[in-house]
């Protein structure tokens, strides 16, 4: 899923301070799971902002809404009738949701309420870690299911590098060396012969190097 973290309240206050009527728009998908922008977080942020502006003697009407998703037309259409009644929409969705909302409702300012961080997994409640950088050309089949692109600081494809010490990366003793994990996993699977094969140059044109990307599946298109 896409992992996000809430923006500091001071930053949010600064971006919405000139509004008279504000909609805080949550998303029921990834940002709900990573507890950054779901219905609960919408409620907490709305309550905090109401208190702040009331204390400042500033009249701002703050309303709350959470959509099933902000990255699909059908759910975003649910606010069609009300979107332009607000000075701004503070979206707690990931960067995709913020942009899609902004593209759909051109006359309303759409602001981000979270920082979108990475594609990751829930290690435990309250702890999310990166697993994928959406490079567009997956190499997991030859690396024991452990991604050197997202989990190696250098994105080394024939590792480890000289900075690997006792299974940890040179950037931090807290960070596992991805290539140590790969070697351990391939050993456990009895597939170390795969490790011996040199990975060819990776086609990075499917990553950000090729500019904004697009996926089209013609058989399902209308």
Partner 1 sequence: MRLEYPANIKVIRVPCTGKVDVIHLLKAIEKGADGAYIVGCMEGECLYTNGNFRAKKRMLQAQKVLDSVGMGGQRVQMYNLSSAEGPKFAAYARDMVEKIHELGPNPMKLAKEGKAA
Q: Which residues bind partner 1 (CB under 8 A)?
A: 8-10, 13, 40, 43-44, 47-52, 54-57
Q: How far is the CB of 8 from partner 1 (least distance, A)?
A: 8
DSSP annotation of 218: G
Residue closer to partner 1 by CB (options 73, 125) is 125
Distance CA 90, CA 49 (A): 12
CB of 183 to partner 1, least distance (A): 38
Name the residue nearer to partner 1 (CB basis): 65 or 185: 65
Nearer to partner 1, 57 or 211 (CB): 57
**How far apart are the C-alpha atoms of 170 and 168, rounded to whole Å?**
7
Those residues whose C-beta lies under 8 Å from the C-beta of residue 25, and which sit 6 or more positions away, are 42, 65, 66, 67, 70, 79, 89, 90, 91, 92, 93, 101
Q: Please, which residue, 58 or 137, has the CB nearer to partner 1?
A: 58
Please report how close the Cβ of residue 33 comes to partner 1 at its closest, in angstroms. Answer: 17
For the CB of residue 36, give the shortest distance to partner 1 in the complex, in Å: 14
* Helical (H) or strand (E) element with 122: strand 114-124
Q: Determine the Cα–Cα distance for residues 190 and 113; give it in Å rounded to an integer.
A: 47
| C-alpha to C-alpha distance for 31 and 48, rounded to whole angstroms | 19
Shortest Å, Cβ 75 to partner 1: 23
55 vs 173, beta carbon nearer partner 1: 55
């Amino acid at each position: 899923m896409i992992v996000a973290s809430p923006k500091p309240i001071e930053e949010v206050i600064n971006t919405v301070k000139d509004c008279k009527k504000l909609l805080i728009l949550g998303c029921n998908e990834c940002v709900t799971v990573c507890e950054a922008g779901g219905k609960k977080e919408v409620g907490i942020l709305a309550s905090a902002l109401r208190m702040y502006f009331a204390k400042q003697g500033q009249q701002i009407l703050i309303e709350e809404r959470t959509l099933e998703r902000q990255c699909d037309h059908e759910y975003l259409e649910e606010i069609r009738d009300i979107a332009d009644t607000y000075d701004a929409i503070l979206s707690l969705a990931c960067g995709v949701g913020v942009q899609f909302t902004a593209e759909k409702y051109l006359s309303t300012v759409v602001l981000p309420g979270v920082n979108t961080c990475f594609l990751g997994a829930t290690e435990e409640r309250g702890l999310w870690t990166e697993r994928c950088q959406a490079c567009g050309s997956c190499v997991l089949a030859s690396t024991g299911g452990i991604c050197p692109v997202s989990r190696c600081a250098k994105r080394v494809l024939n590792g480890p590098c000289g900075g690997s010490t006792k299974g940890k990366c040179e950037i931090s003793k807290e960070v596992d060396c991805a290539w140590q994990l790969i070697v351990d996993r391939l050993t456990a699977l009895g597939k170390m012969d795969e490790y011996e094969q040199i990975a060819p140059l990776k086609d990075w044109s499917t990553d950000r190097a090729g500019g904004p990307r697009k996926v089209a599946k013609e058989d399902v298109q209308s």
